């Protein structure tokens, strides 16, 4: 893997000619996605500023133009009318002030005064490379121009370590107050959420305190990307506790999960009901973000969401501190498909958005035994055990296996027999006990990813996978009925900056 110097990683991006050739080369990669948001070059990580405004969904992401490396981060902007087809709009937030001199880090959006405001972390580093996080604000006008406030809303909180970032903004109609949640780390290295409060969206923020989450006082050493969503009449705290081992998750220590409960905004207390759950049981999913104001939207598609107490989530299809086969091609990372979240019992249910059915072009010819590059598969399991292999070689061997053990109710995915193996040290299989029989699978395959929705959203497994040319077969052992649809392109891989 390429070694980057600090100068190379943190080089300022000045004009598109610096990466045009790189983009042209990358656009030819067989692993470019066709219905997932991805970067024109370089590294994509967290989704940011997800919001609906004036007939459009806006979705930004963390972007480092130079290659598959976490260096100087910009916000890149994409839009969609229906959450299915996405268009590249270009650079959004540039790290061009003293407060964000080493990156415009993650954050969220609010529509105020009929305009979009983007709250983000200015990642400042001193000459001695000491990190200081500022919470900054940018107004994106409807003409697409960006206006950065010259001063941050507030600076680093001296009672926490250098790790404090990822502002999530809320307006509470009940009290007319604005709240900003930040993920943070206490001096004794415990992950937590800290809260700022104001009666105006763009000034006067004051530290209101640390969120009390009884039972989670010591749960990982940093909580990245926290948010609290109202879903099906419950509050849901979604966050990424770091440096923690979880059963069934191999050696991966970066997790994205959630706790159901009740949020008291006055007391700043989130009272858990039940335990921490992993959001996605696959290998590559992190930093999930929910759209801010789905109640305000006016989606034309009648099959799309209509109730306000659902959430729409998208995540980074990647993980911190890992490597991917496309690193050598100077790009890595993309975003997941949008998912609709509801609560059933003590769990979140995640379903692919109804509108994604529009991606289906036609049913694939099953006799070929070959997977189209982009497709959706649906399995109805009439039997007990099931063993499905995707991306097998021409002789039917190898590939990624998805197996259900009827006796134990474990669903296991294993990508160790793929030709391109990566992140082996984190473990090449993941297991989830379904607690039920396996009845239904909906699987979305793009050129370098697989998203598996189990039992109508009861569990999701999201993974990157990089099949070689010969790895396009599939086979299934079990008593199942299967349908496969070819999917059309829904992202424009346009070079827009």
Minimal distance, residue 414 CB to ligand FRU, in Å: 26
Site for ligand FRU contains 256 (CB under 6 A): no
Place of tokens 């999913």: 285
Q: Cβ 224 to ligand FRU, closest distance in Å?
A: 4
Are 37 and 89 a contacting pair, CB within 8 Å?
Answer: no
Q: Does residue number 221 form part of the binding site for ligand FRU (CB under 6 A)?
A: no
Per CB under 6 A, which of residues 266..295 are in contact with ligand FRU?
Answer: 286-287
Looking at beta carbons only, is 122 or 352 nearer to ligand FRU?
Answer: 122
E strand intervals along 155-281: 164-172, 177-185, 191-198, 206-210, 223-231, 234-241, 257-264, 269-272, 277-278
According to CB under 6 A, which one of 23, 53, 73, 430 is a site residue for ligand FRU?
73
CA within 13 Å, CB half, 219: 23
Least distance (Å) between residue 459 CB and ligand FRU: 23
Supply angle C-alpha 167, 349, 246, rounded to 5.
Answer: 70
Beta carbon of residue 46, minimum distance to ligand FRU (angstroms, whole number):
5
Using CB under 6 A as the binding rule, the residues of this chain from 396 to 415 that contact ligand FRU are none
To the nearest whole angstrom, how small is the minimum distance from the Cβ of residue 176 to ligand FRU?
A: 29
Dist CA 187 CA 238 (whole Å): 23
Closer residue to ligand FRU, CB minimum distance, 80 or 108: 108
Other CB atoms within a 10 A radius of the CB of residue 25 amount to: 13
Quote the least distance from Cβ 317 to ligand FRU, whole Å.
12
Which residue's CB is nearer to ligand FRU, number 120 or number 216? 120
Please state the closest distance from residue 254 (CB atom) to ligand FRU, in A: 8
Q: Which is nearer to ligand FRU, 135 or 392 (CB)?
A: 135
Which of 105/276 has CB closer to ligand FRU?
105
DSSP string for 424-452: GGG-SEEEEE-SS---EEEEEEETTEEEE
Phi and psi of 73, rounded to 5°? -100, 135
Structure tokens, 19: 């990466």
**N- to C-terminal Cα separation, the chain:** 27
DSSP 12: P
Is residue 106 close enough to count as binding ligand FRU by CB under 6 A? yes
Output the CA–CA distances (angstroms, integers) from residue 447 to 372, 467, 477, in the order listed: 9, 8, 24
Given the complex with ligand FRU, which of 287 and 443 has the nearer CB atom? 287
Residues identified as active-site: 46
- Kindly state the helix (H) or strand (E) to which residue 334 belongs, with its residue range: none
Q: What are phi and psi of 327, to 5 degrees?
A: -55, -35
CA atoms 277, 280, 284, 285: torsion sign: negative
C-alpha count within 13 angstroms, C-beta hemisphere, residue 232: 15
Q: How far is the CB of 48 from ligand FRU (least distance, A)?
A: 8
Considering the complex, state which of residue 95 and residue 398 has its C-beta at the smaller distance from ligand FRU: 95
Residues 19-48 touching ligand FRU, rule: CB under 6 A, are: 45-46
Q: Which of residues 151-190 bind ligand FRU (CB under 6 A)?
A: 165-166
Beta strands in 275-332 (DSSP E): 277-278, 286-290, 311-316, 331-332
105 counts as binding ligand FRU under rule CB under 6 A? yes
Closest CA to 388 of 339, 442, 426, 433: 442
> Could you give the string, one character per residue 113-132, with x where binding to ligand FRU holds by CB under 6 A and - elsewhere?
--------x-----------
Under 8 Å between Cβ of 430 and 281: yes
Judged by CB under 6 A, does residue 224 bind ligand FRU? yes
Q: What residues does 487 pair with on adjacent strands?
A: 360
Residues 308-347 that bind ligand FRU (CB under 6 A): 320
Indicate the residue among 225 and 434 with the shorter CB distance to ligand FRU: 225
Among 62, 88, 389, 462, binds ligand FRU (CB under 6 A): 62
252 is a site residue for ligand FRU (CB under 6 A): no
CB of 106 to ligand FRU, least distance (A): 3
Between 225 and 491, whose beta carbon lies closer to ligand FRU?
A: 225
What is d(CA 120, CA 397) in angstroms, rounded to the nearest whole number? Answer: 47
* Distance in angstroms (rounded) separating the CA atoms of residues 218 and 185: 11
Residues that bind ligand FRU (CB under 6 A): 45-46, 62, 73, 105-106, 121, 165-166, 224-225, 286-287, 320
């Amino acid at each position: 893997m390429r070694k980057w110097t600090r100068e190379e990683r943190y080089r300022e991006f000045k004009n598109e000619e610096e990466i045009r050739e790189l983009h042209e080369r990358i656009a030819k990669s067989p692993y470019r996605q066709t219905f997932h948001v991805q970067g024109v070059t370089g590294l994509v990580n967290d989704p940011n500023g997800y919001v609906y405004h004036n007939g459009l969904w806006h979705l930004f992401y963390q972007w480092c133009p130079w290659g598959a490396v976490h260096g100087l981060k910009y916000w890149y902007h994409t839009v969609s009318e229906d959450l299915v087809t996405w268009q590249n709009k270009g650079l959004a937030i540039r790290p061009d002030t003293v407060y964000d001199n080493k990156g415009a880090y993650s954050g969220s959006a609010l529509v105020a005064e009929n305009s979009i405001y983007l709250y983000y972390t200015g990642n400042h580093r001193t000459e001695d490379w000491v990190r200081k996080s500022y919470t900054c604000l940018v107004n994106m006008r409807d003409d697409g121009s960006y206006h950065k406030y010259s001063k941050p809303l507030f600076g680093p909180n001296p009672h926490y370590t250098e790790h404090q970032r990822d502002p999530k903004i809320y307006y509470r109609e009940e009290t007319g107050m604005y709240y900003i949640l930040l993920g943070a780390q206490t001096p004794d290295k415990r992950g937590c959420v800290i809260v700022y409060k104001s009666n105006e969206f763009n000034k006067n923020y004051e530290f209101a305190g640390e969120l009390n989450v009884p039972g989670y006082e010591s749960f990982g050493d940093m909580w990245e990307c926290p948010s609290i969503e109202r879903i099906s009449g419950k509050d849901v705290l979604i966050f990424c506790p770091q440096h923690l081992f979880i059963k069934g998750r191999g050696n991966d220590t970066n997790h994205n999960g959630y706790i159901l409960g009740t949020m008291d905004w006055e007391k700043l207390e989130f009272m858990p009901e039940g335990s921490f759950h992993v959001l996605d049981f696959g290998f590559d999913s992190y930093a999930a973000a929910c759209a801010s104001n789905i109640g305000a939207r006016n989606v034309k598609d009648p099959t799309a969401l209509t109730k306000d107490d659902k959430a729409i989530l998208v995540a980074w299809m990647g993980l911190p501190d890992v490597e991917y086969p496309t690193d050598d091609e100077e790009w890595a990372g993309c975003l997941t498909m949008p998912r609709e979240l509801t609560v059933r019992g003590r769990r979140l249910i995640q379903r692919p958005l109804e509108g994604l059915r529009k991606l289906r072009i036609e049913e694939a010819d099953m006799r070929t035994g070959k997977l189209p590059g982009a497709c959706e598969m649906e399995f109805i399991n009439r039997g007990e055990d099931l063993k499905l292999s995707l991306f097998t070689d021409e002789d039917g061997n190898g590939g990624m296996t998805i197996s259900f053990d009827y006796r134990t109710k474990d669903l296991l995915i294993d990508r160790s027999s793929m030709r391109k193996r990566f992140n082996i040290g984190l473990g090449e299989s993941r297991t989830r006990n379904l607690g039920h029989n396996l009845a239904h699978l909906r699987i979305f395959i793009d050129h370098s990813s697989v998203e598996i929705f189990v039992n109508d959203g009861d569990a999701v497994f999201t993974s990157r996978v990089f099949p070689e040319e010969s790895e396009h077969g599939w086979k299934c052992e079990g008593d199942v009925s299967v349908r496969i649809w070819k999917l059309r392109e829904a992202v424009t891989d346009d070079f827009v900056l």
